[in-house]
Amino acid sequence: MQWNIRVLETPEEMREVEELQRLVWPGSETDVVPAHLLITAAHNGGLVLGAYGGHPPRLIGFVFGFPGLDMLPDGPAPKHCSHMLGVHPDYRNSGLGFALKRAQWQMVRHQGLTHVTWTYDPLLSRNAYLNIARLGAVCNTYRRSEYGEMRDALNIGLPSDRFQVDWWIRTSRVERRLSRNPRPTLRLEHFLQAGVKPVYEARRTPQGHPSPPSALPTLQGPLLLAEIPSDIEALKAADLSLARAWRFFTREFFETAFAAGYLVTDFIFEAETRRSFYVLSYGESTLGE
């Protein structure tokens, strides 16, 4: 697929972003970021990038972020807060999300910044694969019900728990993933051959849905493999109570793991086996792998 990515600045362009938000997150008009706020952010150090494709060209994706501050022990430090990434339903799984984040990476580096943060639902495995495996973000921050009750079709029914990820955009870890020769994709078999096994077993219900363990496992060793449902949206549609059970189990698991010193450093997504795993590393990360 072909597309053209450019910086958006005009009221007309921002109204296109409004409309695309309604397609990506249908069902809640109050959650649409309005054009006047997008323009204000763009004219004050923020960034709105749009991707145009098709014949005639139309807006098919966007990424929106603004300046923020890290509150560090020795004082505040600037960062870029990436708030929204949306891709038209016709262009999902096309690589457009990665292309938009790569363009954002290039622009934010030109602003002289080194750190980008954003949030995403840790149960959305395709988002996890993009953010952690492909982009090289890491995470040790879990935020419960970050946005309160959300009413759009994608989020309704589950607490809005989120990972806040850290994207250290000038590290070799990130630069290699965004280069023209990225590192090979790691698969479950690579970890199993190295003696790293899943830290818990996701049992299957009689209907074939994955079910979380009834209790937290013991956390030990330098690497952990933590399974999540490969398609939480389908699971939520089929069995909302089971999807909620995954939310509350993974909430406790990740909060416990992060408190113990583990860091999410990779993600495995295997469409053919319909299995997805977070990879957590213990201790300080070099961010170079």
pLDDT digits (tens, 9 = 90+) for 72-81: 999 999 999 9
Q: Note the pLDDT of residue 154.
A: 67
Q: Please tell me which residue, 274 or 105, carries the higher pLDDT value.
A: 105
DSSP secondary structure letters along 254-286:
HHHHHHTTEEEEEEEEETTTTEEEEEEEES---
105-to-12, 61, 109, 168 alpha-carbon distances in Å:
25, 16, 6, 10
Q: Name the pairing type of β-strands 75-87 and 58-72.
A: antiparallel
Angle at 24 between CA 245 and CA 60, to 5 degrees: 140
pTM over 0.75: yes
Q: Would the pLDDT of 229 be above 60?
A: yes
Q: Please tell me which residue, 5 or 155, carries the higher pLDDT value.
A: 5
Residue 56: asked if its preceding bond is cis (omega within 30°), the reply is yes
Q: Please tell me which residue, 33 or 273, carries the higher pLDDT value.
A: 33
Q: What mean pLDDT is predicted for residues 14-42?
A: 94
Six-digit token string for 263: 């860091």
Q: What percent of the chain has pLDDT over 70?
A: 97
The owner of tokens 């891709």 is 87
Q: Note the pLDDT of residue 32.
A: 94
Six-digit token string for 7: 């910086």
Single-letter amino acid, residue 61 = G
pLDDT bracket for residue 284 (50, 70, 90): low
Q: Note the pLDDT of residue 286.
A: 45
Q: What mean pLDDT is predicted for residues 19-33?
A: 91
Single-letter amino acid, residue 1 = M
Q: What mean pLDDT is predicted for residues 116-137?
A: 97
Q: Note the pLDDT of residue 287.
A: 47
- Residue 103 parent element (H or E): helix 96-110
Dihedral angle computed from the Cα positions of residues 9, 14, 16 and 20, in that order, rounded to the nearest 10 degrees: 120
How many beta carbons lie within 10 A of that of residue 160, not counting itself?
Answer: 17
Q: What mean pLDDT is predicted for residues 247-269?
A: 97
Angle at 190 between CA 185 and CA 192, to 5 degrees: 145
Q: Note the pLDDT of residue 289.
A: 56
Average per-residue pLDDT in the chain?
A: 94
